[in-house]
Chain A
Amino acid sequence: MADANEPVSVVGIPSRVEYTYSPGRATTRFLRAIEQKRLMGQRCTGCGKVYIPPRGACPRCGLPTDEEVELTDKGTVVSFTVVRVPSENIQLELPYAAGSILLDGADIPFQALLRDVEVADVRPGMRVQAVWVDDAELQPSFTNIKWFHPIDEPDVPFEKFQEHL
């Protein structure tokens, strides 16, 4: 028996709440397209910016992004980081690079792994392309893209993507 006056420092209170998540119209269209190995962005009806993955609104204008725009799976690394510290959530061999990738025709970058390249060679402006899972494994998920890897195209100058960092 603990001393009655000893402060209680730990209590266990199991709790569980379950949710059925639904991502909304815009993201649903994106996920249905990526299931077909296509990358669908959406253009703002106000400022013309193209968002991918889309959430249905242009945060700049507060307007719906109703126009669908199909993009290629090629893009440019606009920024990157190299992960060197292990974490229990990371299954990858260290060090590895992750980048902000601006797809051709898009106005905002998204984050993805960068592989098939030495981390020392990763640089802003580097041209990359998506590496997809096998067709049999395609599902309505962004994980259909395993990572991006370099392609044999000249680097894009900083001025061309500085607005999209």
Chain B
Amino acid sequence: MRDVAIVSYAQTPYQSSVSAQNEVEMLMPILSEAVEKSGIPRKEIGFTCSGSTDYLAGQSFSFVMAVDALGAWPPIRESHVEMDGAWALYESWVKIQTGEVDSALIFSFGRQSMGDLPSVLCLQLDPYVLQPLHPDGISLAALQARALLDAGKSSEREWAQIAVRSRADAKDNPDALVKGDADVDAFLAESCVASPLRPHTLPPVTDGAAAMVIAAGDLARRVSEKPVWIRGIDHRLDPHMPGVRDLTVSPSTAKATEKAGGAAGVEVAELHAPFAPQEVILRDAMGLGSDVKINPSGGPLAAHPMMVAGLARIGEAARQIWGGKAGRALAHATQGPCLQQNLVTILEAD
């Protein structure tokens, strides 16, 4: 295995709507920032991979239009995944492992404000027996939350505490969208959006983009004073049909954590739990102790740009290491209904 490190990361300030900007306008500043911070000239970056979905903009091939932001001339090696940007990182990491390239630029973007995300997420379900019932993204998360309550594994109070903690931590993150002091009892007095989920347990509608540059061993050491090493990265998935799964557990997260190197020694974990109850499932699957600081960035409850939030967890975990807040960090990304797919990355300082 080749050593691979994150050498730079940039993200937009997350907003509830960036309607003034198109995708390209949103991307250009952060692509420039990530490339500049990487210390690798743009034309020397070996590979570029993006993660996004055209369903967000309702515009076919919007992922191709995003290439306008790259300056892809002379032609570059470029790829795209119809997944969160975390999976674009995974493809780039594999590309570096093949030995074909030594560096990669990864980016992802989402303008969720243009459509209705819960309805869009319904379209990823089985088209014959599930989609016709129109369970949207929130309803499915509510089923999962209800299963947790019924199993006695969590409580509405615990979810409110997670939301209070997220908003408090987000105060220190200039890019976060939902932040501030909040009160558990006030949260519990809210009425449900889809029982048992109250508004504070839901991810905010968010527009934004993120970009990252990774590089192989020697190059990373040469261009970066403090490369953040990807010690392990693993992607596992559970069955697509929520009905065939025990929604209170996440075997794929447990497996991915184990294969990525395990949670032992992890000081910080950035978890991509779009809905507060899902954080309980992830912590349990990973075996995270109470000494592990969860989502110091504020996490997905503070900003959840669809297709970006997973890559942002990895970027935020890297920032914790760059900032000296952790020596070993875990970052998690999810995709699919009810935490179906899970990608775990273990990051370390030198």
Known: A13-B132, A19-B58, A22-B19. A57 touches B24 (CB 8 A): yes
* Cβ-neighbour of B69 out of A13, A22, A23, A62 (below 8 A): A62
A59 touches B123 (CB 8 A): no
B25 touches A25 (CB 8 A): yes
Instruction: Enumerate A88-143 residues with CB–CB distance to B below 8 Å.
Output: none
* Cβ-neighbour of B20 out of A22, A57, A58 (below 8 A): A22
Complex formed: what's the CA distance from A74 to B313 in Å?
A: 51
A56 touches B71 (CB 8 A): no
Complex formed: what's the CA distance from A58 to B72 in Å?
A: 10
The interface residues of chain B lying within 8 Å CB-to-CB of A57 are 24-25, 28, 68-69
Complex formed: what's the CA distance from A26 to B69 in Å?
A: 13
Complex formed: what's the CA distance from A59 to B32 in Å?
A: 14
State how many residues of chain B have any CB contact under 8 Å with chain A: 34
The interface residues of chain B lying within 8 Å CB-to-CB of A17 are 55, 58, 115-116, 119-120, 123
Complex formed: what's the CA distance from A39 to B32 in Å?
A: 30
The interface residues of chain B lying within 8 Å CB-to-CB of A64 are 25, 28
Complex formed: what's the CA distance from A26 to B20 in Å?
A: 9
Q: Secondary structure at chain A's binding surface: helix, strand, loop or mixed?
A: loop
A19 touches B22 (CB 8 A): no
The interface residues of chain A lying within 8 Å CB-to-CB of B331 are none
Complex formed: what's the CA distance from A137 to B79 in Å?
A: 43
Complex formed: what's the CA distance from A26 to B31 in Å?
A: 18
B22 touches A23 (CB 8 A): yes
Complex formed: what's the CA distance from A18 to B119 in Å?
A: 9
A62 touches B114 (CB 8 A): no
A25 touches B21 (CB 8 A): yes
Residues on A facing B (Cβ under 8 Å): 11, 13, 15, 17-28, 55-64
* A-B residue pairs in contact (CB < 8 Å), sample of 10: A13-B128, A13-B132, A15-B131, A17-B58, A20-B113, A20-B115, A55-B24, A56-B24, A59-B70, A62-B31
